[in-house]
């Protein structure tokens, strides 16, 4: 358990009584102020990561941009931090365009993705002057040509399937042959020609993204040559995908090591004057946050279940791709009487597990449980299953905490009912 603290945001510590302190705020005080469950973001850690990415990329390729993949944590306050740190935003769909704009991003710094963009989203992208629309298929081109007004042009990238199979869960793999995202180089070549001849579209370059939670650097490097073969363009967007550290067994490459490999390949294959974009999501936000739950039941039997007041309504990562998390009882990370338990949520599914097999110190009803590394894809996939009210998000910084997203109310749950 000694390592548990190392999974919390970089600014975390243990108080004299053993309570974890994140962003200068004690977990018990955060639970008291905002209720549980609550997702707490250490703002300084988030900003530090954004700066690390920007600094490490520009040191290796000066004509470059980091755009945060909003989908990993599309909360306006998080997007605003990224914008304040000088990053652009990658959005997937109309909703993320709107929160990105609310966060104050220059629309020209937005990269718009989607494998099934509809007319409305294409119109939103064009109307708001989104910088780059990433074309996934020829229907995107039909829609864009039907939407961009006479006398205007829309800059586009074309998403390429590089045929690279990274070592990650199949559900978050995207660069393999047969992926639903993008086009094979053979399919892309005629579409690129078509765009180059279009009056309304400007062919700016190509895009590639091999998948998510990737813990080795080779797949990133391997993805560059297949896109380089399609020709010379002003822009190459090399996607995101770097893995994060959820558990002490994980040792994801440092940002610098990842970029050594990726930009090393770029230097080998891409035109020196081109702009390189990267789109980190998970690795940008994952380790900057934790979720605090309250234990509601401890049931000892063949398996000891510690049930908490959240679960798959606020963290779908376990059910979606079997992500392992760690956890500790607040105040007793290293406490006495460790017991091997399974931490489960309050939802009506046996798959509603938060941590399958973990030693917790004498877990009891009303204890607080802290789960680190919940910054990526938890907020965004939160849901109302079993009438769950989606949980709040608080930022902690220098000993002060502020609510940035409130908890859903009971009234919110029926707010869309029209009958
Ligand atoms: C096109 C694109 N770019 C970037 C990302 C971010 O990936 P990650 O969160 O793994 O960094 C994704 C996520 O799947 C994506 O689909």
Whole-model pTM over 0.85: yes
Q: Give the percent of the chain with pLDDT over 70.
A: 100
Span 188-195, average pLDDT: 98
348 is an active site residue: yes
Expressed in angstroms and rounded, the spacing between residue 301 Cα and the centre of ligand 1 is 41
Span 164-181, average pLDDT: 80
Ligand 1 atom nearest to 283, measured from its CA: 11
Please give the pLDDT value at position 407. Answer: 98
**Ligand 1 pocket check: which of 91, 240, 379 to mutate, most ligand atoms within 8 Å of Cβ?**
240
Q: Does residue 173 have a pLDDT over 80?
A: no
pLDDT digits (tens, 9 = 90+) for 39-71: 999 999 999 999 999 999 999 999 999 999 999
Distance (Å, rounded) from C-alpha 67 to C-alpha 91?
9
Expressed in angstroms and rounded, the spacing between residue 7 Cα and the centre of ligand 1 is 22
Contact residues for 416 (Cβ-Cβ < 8 A; gap 6+): none
Beta bridge partners of 154: 201
Ligand 1 atom nearest to 212, measured from its CA: 10
Cα dihedral 94, 98, 100, 106 sign: positive
Please give the pLDDT value at position 165. Answer: 77
Backbone angles phi, psi at 395, to 5 degrees: -100, 135
Please give the pLDDT value at position 11. Answer: 81
pLDDT digits (tens, 9 = 90+) for 358-379: 999 999 999 999 999 999 999 9
**Ligand 1 pocket check: which of 69, 182, 287, 373 to mutate, most ligand atoms within 8 Å of Cβ?**
69
Expressed in angstroms and rounded, the spacing between residue 340 Cα and the centre of ligand 1 is 35
DSSP secondary structure code for residue 288 in this structure: G
Q: Which residue segments constitute the domains of the chain, with CATH numbers given?
A: 2-42+287-414 (2.40.37.10), 44-285 (3.20.20.10)
Distance (Å, rounded) from C-alpha 139 to C-alpha 351?
37
Name the least confident of 170-179, 384-393, 408-417. Answer: 170-179
The pLDDT mean for the chain works out to 96
- Residue 410 has a CB neighbour count (10 Å cut-off) of 8
**β-strands 38-42, 25-26: how paired?**
unpaired
Pocket around ligand 1: residues whose beta carbon is below 6 Å from it?
Answer: 69, 71-72, 90, 113, 209, 212, 239-242, 279-283
DSSP secondary structure code for residue 297 in this structure: E
CA distances from 220 to 56, 120, 244 (A): 16, 33, 15
Span 266-273, average pLDDT: 98
Angular region, 178: left φ>0, alpha ψ -120 to 50, beta rest = left
């Amino acid at each position: 358990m000694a390592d548990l603290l190392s999974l919390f945001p970089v600014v975390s510590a243990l108080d004299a009584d053993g309570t974890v302190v994140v962003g200068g705020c004690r977990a018990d005080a955060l639970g008291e102020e905002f209720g549980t469950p609550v997702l707490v973001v250490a703002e300084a850690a988030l900003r530090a990561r954004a700066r690390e990415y920007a600094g490490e990329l520009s040191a290796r390729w000066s004509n470059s941009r980091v755009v945060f993949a909003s989908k990993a944590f599309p909360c306006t306050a998080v997007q605003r931090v990224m914008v304040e740190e000088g990053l652009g935003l990658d959005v997937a769909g109309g909703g993320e365009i709107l929160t990105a704009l609310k966060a104050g991003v220059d629309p020209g710094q937005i990269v718009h993705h989607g494998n099934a963009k509809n007319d409305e989203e294409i119109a939103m992208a064009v109307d708001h002057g989104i910088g780059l629309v990433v074309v996934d298929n020829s229907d995107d081109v039909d829609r864009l040509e039907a939407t961009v007004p006479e006398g205007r042009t829309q800059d586009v990238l074309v998403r390429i399937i590089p045929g690279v199979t990274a070592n990650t869960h199949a559900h978050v793999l995207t660069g393999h042959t047969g992926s639903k995202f993008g086009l094979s180089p053979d399919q892309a070549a005629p579409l690129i020609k078509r765009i180059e001849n279009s009056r309304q579209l400007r062919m700016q370059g190509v895009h590639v993204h091999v998948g998510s939670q990737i813990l080795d650097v080779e797949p990133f490097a391997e993805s560059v040559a297949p896109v380089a073969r399609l020709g010379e363009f002003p822009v190459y967007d090399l996607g995101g995908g770097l893995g994060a550290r959820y558990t002490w067994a994980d040792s994801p490459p440092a940002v610098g090591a990842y970029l050594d490999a990726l930009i090393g390949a770029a230097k080998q294959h891409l035109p020196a004057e081109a702009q390189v974009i990267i789109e980190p999501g998970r690795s940008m936000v994952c380790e900057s946050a934790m979720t605090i739950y309250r234990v509601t039941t401890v049931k000892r039997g063949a398996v000891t279940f510690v049930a908490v007041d959240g679960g798959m309504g606020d963290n779908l990562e376990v059910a979606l791709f079997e992500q392992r998390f760690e956890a500790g009882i607040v105040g007793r990370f290293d406490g006495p009487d460790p017991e091997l338990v399974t931490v489960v949520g309050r939802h009506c599914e046996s798959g509603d597990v938060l941590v399958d097999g973990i030693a917790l110190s004498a877990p009891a009803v009303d204890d607080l449980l802290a789960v680190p590394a919940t910054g990526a894809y938890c907020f965004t996939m939160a849901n109302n299953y079993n009438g769950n009210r989606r949980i709040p998000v608080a930022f902690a910084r220098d000993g002060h905490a502020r609510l940035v997203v409130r908890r859903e109310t009971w009234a919110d749950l029926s707010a869309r009912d029209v009958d």
